């Protein structure tokens, strides 16, 4: 018996990183999973991996920056599996830049994917979840919703918006059985961060600096976030809504 037997879950940005780990972990607990991404080969590979492990998943390409794509994603999930219980709003992009230096194009792009993309998931998932008798929406925010880091103005604003949206929607739809929660990861070693390391002048020094930011003295791994996704998706978290839970190894509580 899995903790998510009978549930149907959509995970956006599930081709790699935290989304991939979440899709694998949800499927391992018995959920039927719609793996969604814009990177088709990566998404199909995750579906194959779930299948090899004995799970049930399909792939559906959707750009969360486009309303039509997100609407079609939810419709595809319901057409294939007949219901929707869990929506993991995970897809996101890392766009650096201070409030002064970020271009208007970059600002618009990061808000469109990282904030409006999550609103689109909420907008189209909730009516289906109400039909299924309730549901759990999990929004991947960041510790950057809670504290400032230099040169990440647009990204932080989007994640702060995700936190406010989480609370707002939890209030609006709680009485209809919809729980909405946000996760605030610290530094998790995913391709998003691997790219920053590849471009660093001294990757070892960067790793040592980043490790030292965390009370635990190290980065997190995608599966350490995915385990919280499973908990929030499951009925074990039945009285938890509108909250933000940090999975940050103590990043946000550490002084100098």
Shortest distance, CB of residue 5 to ligand NAD, whole angstroms? 26
Instruction: Based on the shown chain and the rule CB under 6 A, indicate whether residue 178 belongs to the binding site for ligand NAD.
Output: no
Instruction: Based on the shown chain and the rule CB under 6 A, indicate whether residue 245 belongs to the binding site for ligand NAD.
Output: no
**Shorter beta-carbon distance to ligand NAD: residue 37 or 85:** 37
Among 26, 33, 42, 88, binds ligand NAD (CB under 6 A): 42
Shortest distance, CB of residue 25 to ligand NAD, whole angstroms? 13
Among 31, 74, 125, 188, binds ligand NAD (CB under 6 A): 188
**Phi, psi of 90, deg, nearest 5:** -110, -30
CA distance to 46, 101, 194, 226, 239, per residue, from 19 (Å):
10, 30, 15, 8, 24
Q: Footprint of ligand NAD on residues 135-174 (CB under 6 A)?
A: 140, 142
> Are the C-beta atoms of 190 and 16 separated by less than 8 Å?
yes
Burial of 7 (0-12, 13-18, 19+ CB in 10 A): buried
Token duo for residue 253: 């509580």
Give dist(CA 247, CA 146) in Å, integer. Answer: 13
Query: What are the catalytic residues?
Result: 155
> Are the C-beta atoms of 170 and 179 separated by less than 8 Å?
yes
Instruction: Based on the shown chain and the rule CB under 6 A, indicate whether residue 192 belongs to the binding site for ligand NAD.
Output: yes
Helix ranges (H only) for the chain are 17-28, 40-52, 67-81, 104-111, 117-131, 153-173, 191-199, 203-213, 222-233
Instruction: Based on the shown chain and the rule CB under 6 A, indicate whether residue 47 belongs to the binding site for ligand NAD.
Output: no
Work out the end-to-end distance of the chain between its first and last CA atoms, rounded to an integer number of angstroms.
Answer: 46
Count of residues interacting with ligand NAD (CB under 6 A): 28
Site string for ligand NAD, 60-99 (x = CB under 6 A): ---xxx------------------------xxxx------
Shortest distance, CB of residue 143 to ligand NAD, whole angstroms? 7
Q: Give the footprint of ligand NAD on this chain (CB under 6 A).
A: 12-13, 15-19, 37-39, 42, 63-65, 90-93, 113, 140, 142, 185, 187-188, 190-193
């Amino acid at each position: 018996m899995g903790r998510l037997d009978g549930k149907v879950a959509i995970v956006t940005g599930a081709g790699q990183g935290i989304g991939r780990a979440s899709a694998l972990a949800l499927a391992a607990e018995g959920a039927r999973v719609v793996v969604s991404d814009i990177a088709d080969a990566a998404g199909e590979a995750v579906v194959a991996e779930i299948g090899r492990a004995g799970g049930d998943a399909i792939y559906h390409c959707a750009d969360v920056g486009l309303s039509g794509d997100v609407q079609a994603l939810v419709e595809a999930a319901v057409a294939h599996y007949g219901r929707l219980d869990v929506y993991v709003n995970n897809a996101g992009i890392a766009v650096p830049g201070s409030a002064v230096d970020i271009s208007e194009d970059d600002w618009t792009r990061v808000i469109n994917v990282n904030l409006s993309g999550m609103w689109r998931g909420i907008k189209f998932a909730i009516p289906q979840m109400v039909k299924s008798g309730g549901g759990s929406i999990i929004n991947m925010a960041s510790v950057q919703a809670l504290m400032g880091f230099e040169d990440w103005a647009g990204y932080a604003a989007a994640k702060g918006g995700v936190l406010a949206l989480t609370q707002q929607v939890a209030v609006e739809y709680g009485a209809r059985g919809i729980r909405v929660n946000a996760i605030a990861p610290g530094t998790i070693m995913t391709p998003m961060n691997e790219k920053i390391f590849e471009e660093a002048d001294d990757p070892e020094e960067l790793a040592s600096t980043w490790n030292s930011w965390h009370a635990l003295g190290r980065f997190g791994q995608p599966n350490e976030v995915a385990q919280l996704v499973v908990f929030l998706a499951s009925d074990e978290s039945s009285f938890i809504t509108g909250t933000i839970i940090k999975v940050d190894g103590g990043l946000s509580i550490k002084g100098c």
